[in-house]
Amino acid sequence: EAGVVQSPRYKIIEKKQPVAFWCNPISGHNTLYWYLQNLGQGPELLIRYENEEAVDDSQLPKDRFSAERLKGVDSTLKIQPAELGDSAVYLCASSLLLARGSYEQYFGPGTRLTVT
Amino acid sequence: AQSVTQLGSHVSVSEGALVLLRCNYSSSVPPYLFWYVQYPNQGLQLLLKYTSAATLVKGINGFEAEFKKSETSFHLTKPSAHMSDAAEYFCAVSDRGSARQLTFGSGTQLTVLP
């Protein structure tokens, strides 16, 4: 079974430029997450989708960040315009509902963004 | 709100020695708890999880963790460290009501010395 796929793996852009990240979750996982991971820190949730609906986007900086999940499968996270402080790893994860209401999240390899 | 604290951002052990990575959680009710490992330039991989079954949880690669409600702890251990265990380890918590929402600690970098 293929894992969570993300592309690109690395991206270097100049500040004020736009950038987009793509994620393909594990087949059958209806919950998809985007996380931001700064160097030396744990991941922080940006947005969570249940199928096509963004059910938790409270931590997404909506002035410059946007996300979509068309057809409830693949997802794209966009930053426009990028700032120096956006340099980080962007992780995508998907999850499956297990017995007794617990979830298990599977993470992709991440996209490392460098803004110069 | 749920939170976890990982004591020690860097831990070094000798190969063959005991590994102990500490995690304390903050919650008014026993939450779900997880340990993830992250190797360089890779995503996070689930090592083990506690979801209110047995308090001693065994995971992959010989790791285990014990849920102690009285100490609000979920420390990760491995009896004998291997060079391949060198990585960053994250403790995470979610409440049972919204088990999809994970809150991560700041991580512990494990170095294994030959």
Per-residue pLDDT at A103: 74
Residues in chain B within 8 Å Cβ distance of A41: 106-107
B73 versus A102: the higher-pLDDT residue is B73
Shortest CB distance from A102 goes to which of B32, B42, B44?
B32
- Condensed to tens digits (0 to 9), the pLDDT of residues A5-41 reads 999 999 999 999 999 999 999 998 888 999 999 988 9
Residues 6 or more apart in contact with residue B39 via CB below 8 angstroms = B45, B87, B88
Residues 6 or more apart in contact with residue B35 via CB below 8 angstroms = B21, B23, B46, B47, B48, B49, B59, B63, B65, B74, B76, B89, B90, B91, B92
A65, amino acid identity: F
Q: Is the pLDDT of residue A59 over 80?
A: yes
Per-residue pLDDT at B27: 78
**Under an 8 A CB cutoff, do A42 and B92 touch?**
yes
Interface A-B: count of C-beta contacts within 8 A: 57
Shortest CB distance from A42 goes to which of B41, B43, B106?
B106
Question: In this structure, are strands A88-97 and A111-115 parallel, antiparallel, or unpaired?
Answer: antiparallel
Lateral strand order in the sheet of A5-7: A5-7, A19-24, A75-79, A65-68
Q: Is the pLDDT of residue A101 over 80?
A: no
Positions in chain B whose pLDDT score sits under 70: 96-100
Tokens describing residue B42: 């890779």
Distance between CA atoms of residues A46 and B5, nearest Å: 21
